[in-house]
Amino acid sequence: MNSINQIKKIIVDKPLKLDCGKIINNFPIAYETYGALNEKKDNAILVFHALTGDQFVSGVNPITKKDGWWSYAIGPDKAIDTNKYFVICSNVIGGCMGSYGPSNIDPTTNKILGTTFPVITINDMVNAQYNLLDFFKIDKLFCVVGGSMGGMQVLQFINNFPDKAKIAIPIACTASHSAQNIAFNELGRQSIMADTNWLNGNYSNENSNPDKGLSVARMAAHITYLSKKGLQEKFGRKLQKRDNLQFSFDADFQIESYLRHQGSVFVDRFDANSYLYITRAMDYFDLIKQHDGNLSKAFIQSKTKFFIISFTSDWLYPTSENKDIVIALNAIGADVGFVEIESDKGHDSFLLNVPEFLGTLKNFINTSYSTN
Amino acid sequence: MKEEFRIIADLVEINTRVLDVGCGDGVLMEFLKNNKKINIRGIEISKDNVQKCVSKGLTVIEGDAEKDLTQFPDRSFDFVILSQTLQAFLNPEIVINELLRVGKKAIVTIPNFGFWKVRLHLLIKGTMPITKKLPDEWYNTPNLHMCTIKDFFNFCNTRKIKLDKSLSFHNKKTSLIKANNLNIKNLSAELGIFLIEK
């Protein structure tokens, strides 16, 4: 991972008090930008990434050499058109793509932080990323947008900084992590921690890596990102490069082989401790509780125009939970639009080539920008 | 179509908050937005139509008026518009009550089933009437609860819903509906337009 040193970073010298009580100083935020900031500085879009995302939304990711995670949506002439808008995305704190996270070295001990890294929250992530506005001297963003955990950050951003974005687009997310969401995350964490190579989070200092645990965590999570129908159509009971069942525990079925592959490529690009910290941050997210049960209060200070998007086959962050945000906004007369997009691709729909979604996103962004 | 929109636009006051229930592809919303200084929102059941509204820069939420109006607080809009969709609801009475709860006033337009051509069609042909305003066959019509101008007029009166303005519309002409010309208007008008409040 030599190229990790070429990642763009700001060092935040303003102390940040985390929700856990700890104060962090001089910490790095790794970021990437696409397109150009115009003279009026009114065309900036801040993108928040999901659990395993990073700052490389478009083009080729210089670390993984794969397409940026939101390449379908962001780029020249795409839904978020980088010929027109200045797109900023940064790696969340707790992450492993250059921002302050558990794989950073503790300068006092010269050892990798591991589980001595503080437990962080979505609120902490958003507060840390806010420093990018100062860095780019942007007074007000045109748009904040993100899917899944990125959507949660959008909601938290408007709550924390009510007048810092003209429009907000939370996609396939929730205002409060459900028991089912927490359960799946706990499954992933337990899988990592059950790997004997995890070494209580100290694996990097001991030249070890809980690959198997992290891989199983990814496999389990991956199932939750797809729909039953999508899986059935793509894989059914098709066998993997064989004509008959082998009466063994090899990957007889294509779906098994697919999941194993997803798990194995994931461990090459993701840090197991980051996975623990970020899933924890998601589980702690409850914007409704932050306002004593009244979600509307989160947005009452804001004049931001909202557009909320959900997907029919997303059972991880279902339409009903997205609609709760719409209802909370309508209750205070906020400017909010909402659409549920028809798709068989499950929660992952927002990352994939779903033309109705991409078209709607593009239309909303462009018509909102032209009414400046 | 445009004529009906103009009448609705005349009923809506400027600088008000307006909700278009069952806004379709946003054609009325767009007309009102361009012709009147108001803050307008829409609610629409069809995904396709919601996407069309978004492409026009209109603020619309996907939802079912029979279930999703509950999310709006009492009197959160100055005007709530229901243009030629009342007859398509499973329970129009509940929808009317919701309109009058969410809006300080409601504008309801109905295709008049008492229009003479409709009556004549049923009388002469003996089959379910098909007209310009009611183009569907009985088996595929979305209209579950057709009513006449007189029906709606009586409905409001028996429920103590105040009829601020009752208009009949035919051949690009609008005229007032009153108790003493109700039977004539019920025969001669294709469309009824009502401004109501509770």
Tell me the CA distances in angstroms from A298 to A38, A161, A271, B74, one per residue in order: 31, 10, 33, 21
ipTM: 0.89
Q: Does pTM surpass 0.80?
A: yes
Q: What is d(CA A247, CA B89) in angstroms, rounded to the nearest whole number?
A: 58
Please answer yes or no on whether A307 and B54 come within 8 Å at the CB atom: yes
Distance from CA of B39 to the nearest CA of A (A): 10
Active-site residue flag, A314: yes
List A347, A348, A349, A368, catalytic entry? A347
Three-class secondary structure of residue A136 per DSSP: coil
CB-based contacts of A129-132 (< 8 A; 24+ apart in sequence)? A129/A29, A129/A46, A129/A48, A129/A90, A129/A92, A129/A153, A130/A157, A130/A160, A130/A161, A130/A164, A131/A10, A131/A12, A131/A14, A131/A29, A132/A10, A132/A29, A132/A31, A132/A46, A132/A88, A132/A90
A contacts of B59 (beta carbons < 8 Å): 305, 335-337
CB-based contact A274:A103 (threshold 8 Å): yes
pLDDT digits (tens, 9 = 90+) for A192-208: 999 999 999 999 999 99
Query: What 3-state DSSP class applies to A84?
Result: coil
Does the active-site annotation cover A81?
no
Cα-Cα end-to-end distance for chain A: 43
Q: How confident is the model at residue A231 (pLDDT cuts 50, 70, 90)?
A: very high
CB atoms < 10 A from the CB of B74, how many? 9
Number of domains in chain B: 1
| pLDDT higher than threshold 50 for residue A183 | yes
Instruction: Give chain A positions within 8 Å (CB) of B76.
Output: 330, 333
- pLDDT for A314-365, tens place per residue? 999 999 999 999 999 999 999 999 999 999 999 999 999 999 999 999 999 9
Could you tell me if residue B42 is inside a domain?
yes
Does B120 map to a domain?
Answer: no
CB–CB contact A333 B17 (8 Å): yes
Q: Is A324 on the interface with B (CB under 8 A)?
A: no
Q: Looking at CA atoms only, how far is residue B170 from chain A in angstroms?
A: 35
**Among residues A308, A336, A299, A333, which one has the least CA distance to residue B17?**
A333
- For the CA atoms of B182, B187, B191, B192, what is the dihedral angle to 10 degrees? 10
Q: Nearest CA of chain A to the CA of B149: how many Å?
A: 33
Residue B180 within a domain: yes
Measuring CA to CA, which residue among B96, B171, B102, B88 is closest to residue B136?
B88
Question: Do A339 and B62 count as a contact with CB atoms less than 8 A apart?
Answer: yes
DSSP state of A253: B
Q: Is B43 part of a structural domain of the chain?
A: yes
Look at residue B128 and tell me if it is in a domain.
Answer: no
Q: Are A85 and A45 in contact (CB under 8 A)?
A: yes
In a domain, B162, yes or no: yes
Q: Quickly list H helices, A195-249.
A: 211-225, 228-234
Q: Would an 8 Å CB–CB cutoff place B45 in contact with chain A?
A: no
Residue B163's pLDDT is: 97
Residues 6+ apart with CB under 8 A from B78: B13, B16, B17, B18, B103, B104, B105
Residue B133 is predicted with a pLDDT of 79
**Three-state secondary structure readout of chain B:** CHHHHHHHHHHCCCCCEEEEECCCCCHHHHHHHHHCCCEEEEEECCHHHHHHHHHCCCEEEECCHHHHHHHCCCCCEEEEEEECCHHHCCCHHHHHHHHHHHEEEEEEEEECCCCHHHHHHHHHHCCCCCCCCCCCCCCCCCCCCCCCHHHHHHHHHHCCCEEEEEEEEECCEEEECCCCCHHHHHHHCCEEEEEEEC
Considering the candidates A124, A211, A252, A314, report the single residue annotated as catalytic: A314
Structure tokens at B92: 């129009």
Distance CA A221, CA A244 (A): 29
- Domain membership of residue B131 (yes or no) is no
In this structure, the strands spanning A16-17 and A23-24 are: antiparallel
State residue A6's pLDDT score.
75
- Are the C-beta atoms of B106 and B79 separated by less than 8 Å? yes
Find which of B71, B98, B102 to mutate to test the A interface (most A CBs within 10 Å of its CB).
Answer: B71
C-beta of residue A341 within 8 angstroms of C-beta of residue A371: no
Q: Which domains does chain A have, with CATH numbers?
A: 2-178+286-370 (3.40.50.1820), 182-279 (1.10.1740.110)
B101: closest CA of chain A, how far (Å)? 14
The percent of residues above 70 in pLDDT, for chain A, comes to 98
d(CA B82, CA A34): 45
User: Among A265, A95, A112, A264, which Cα is nearest to A203's?
Assistant: A112
Q: State the residue range of the domain holding B71.
A: 2-113+147-197
Q: How does pLDDT run across A99-113, given as a tens digit for each residue?
A: 999 999 999 999 999
- Which pLDDT band holds residue A55 (cuts at 50, 70, 90)? very high
Q: Which residue carries 């707790």 as its tokens?
A: A94
Question: Following CA atoms A122, A127, A132, A137 in sequence, which dihedral angle do they give, to the nearest 10 degrees?
Answer: 140
Q: How far is it between the farthest Cα atoms of chain B?
A: 49
Q: What's the pLDDT score for residue B110?
A: 95
Mean pLDDT value of segment A171-177 = 98
Cβ B54–A305 below 8 Å, yes or no? no
A371: enclosing H helix or E strand: none
Residue B139 in domain:
no
* The two three-digit tokens of residue A198, written as one number: 């995890």
Confidence of residue A371 (pLDDT cuts 50, 70, 90): confident
Residue in the structure block whose two tokens are 């008008």: B189
**Are the beta carbons of B22 and B45 closer than 8 angstroms?**
yes
How many helices (H) and strands (E) are present in chain A, helices listed first?
11, 14
B47 interfacial to chain A (CB closer than 8 Å): yes
Q: Which residues contact B56 (CB under 8 A, 6 or more apart)?
A: A367, B26, B29, B30
What is the pLDDT at residue A1?
A: 46
Q: What is the pLDDT of residues B45-100, one digit of tens each?
A: 999 999 999 999 999 999 999 999 999 999 999 999 999 999 999 999 999 999 99
Rounded to whole angstroms, the Cα distance separating A276 from B108 reads 56
Mean pLDDT score across all residues of chain A: 96
Query: Which of the residues in chain B have pLDDT under 70?
Result: 1
A333, A356, A367 member nearest B76 (Cβ): A333
Q: What percent of chain B has pLDDT over 70?
A: 99
Q: At what angle do helices B27-35 and B2-11 cross, to 10 degrees?
A: 50
A347 belongs to the catalytic site: yes
CATH number, domain containing residue B58: 3.40.50.150
Cβ proximity of B70 and B97 under 8 Å: no
Pick from B17, B47, B59: CB nearest A337: B59
